[in-house]
């Protein structure tokens, strides 16, 4: 049947939502949802996340880019399901019951397979290495949805950001 939302991410203030997305208050800390797929840990900033939900029936899309692990019905819209691992060229098939993040970039929505959702927390960059770590001190790959969407559409790999860049 329908996807059910587990949580709704807090919406950013309206002024922050016009035009391009600006990071959360305080450059050093990023408010994110952290999830792990296998042993890899990923995070996405809250501002990009509309909802967290469970996938309903997944329809495979033959000949889609490998990063797209199928489509799903979400409140009457057909959403593409993105799979980070698929970017490397290994296509996987999403299945019903998995957790997913509803991302929105520029009014375009897609679902991101989110394996096991660990927590909503703040990421800090380790002062010595510059690497992002979560509350358990695990190294976290911070995903950038606009780039993610672009890479998925064009079938290319991500320039993943594990290390905080200097300007931050």
CA atoms within 13 A on the CB side of 164: 19
Applying CB under 8 A, which part among 28-36, 101-109, 126-134, 158-166 lies near other proteins? 101-109
Instruction: Verify binding: residue 105, other proteins, rule CB under 8 A.
Output: yes
Shortest distance, position 115 Cβ to other proteins, whole Å: 20
> Smaller CB distance to other proteins: residue 64 or 120?
64
Instruction: Verify binding: residue 41, other proteins, rule CB under 8 A.
Output: no
Instruction: Verify binding: residue 102, other proteins, rule CB under 8 A.
Output: no
Q: Is 137 exposed, middle or buried (0-12, 13-18, 19+ CB in 10 A)?
A: exposed
Instruction: Verify binding: residue 65, other proteins, rule CB under 8 A.
Output: yes
CB 122 within 8 A of CB 46: no
Instruction: Verify binding: residue 64, other proteins, rule CB under 8 A.
Output: yes
Please tell me what DSSP assigns to residue 10: P
Shortest distance, position 17 Cβ to other proteins, whole Å: 7
> Smaller CB distance to other proteins: residue 89 or 130?
89
Applying CB under 8 A, which part among 23-31, 41-49, 63-71, 121-129 lies near other proteins? 63-71
Task: Give the pairing type, strands 141-143 and 40-45.
Answer: parallel
3-class secondary structure, 71: strand
Dump the DSSP string for 111-167.
Answer: EEE-SEEEEEEEEEE-TTT-BEE-TT--B-EEE-HHHHHHHHHHT-----B-BPPTT
Using left for φ > 0, alpha for ψ between -120 and 50, and beta otherwise, residue 63 falls in left
Instruction: Verify binding: residue 92, other proteins, rule CB under 8 A.
Output: no
Contact residues: other proteins, CB under 8 A:
1-2, 4, 14-15, 17-20, 56-57, 59-65, 68, 71-73, 75-80, 105-110, 146, 149-150, 152-153
């Amino acid at each position: 049947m329908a996807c059910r939302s587990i949580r709704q991410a807090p919406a950013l203030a309206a002024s922050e939502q016009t035009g391009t997305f600006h990071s959360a208050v305080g450059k050093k800390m990023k408010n994110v949802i952290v999830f792990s797929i296998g042993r890899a840990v990923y995070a996405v900033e809250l501002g990009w996340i509309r909802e967290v939900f469970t996938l309903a029936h997944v329809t495979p899309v033959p000949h889609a880019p490998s990063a797209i692990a199928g489509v799903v019905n979400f409140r009457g819209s057909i959403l593409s399901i993105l799979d980070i691992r698929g970017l490397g060229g290994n296509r996987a098939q999403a299945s019903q019951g998995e957790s997913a993040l509803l991302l929105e970039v520029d009014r375009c929505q897609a679902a991101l397979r989110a394996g096991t959702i660990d927590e909503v927390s703040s990421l800090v960059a380790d002062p010595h290495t510059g690497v992002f770590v979560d509350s358990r001190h695990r190294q976290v790959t911070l995903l950038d949805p606009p780039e993610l969407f672009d890479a998925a559409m064009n079938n290319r790999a991500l320039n993943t950001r594990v290390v905080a860049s200097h300007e931050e």
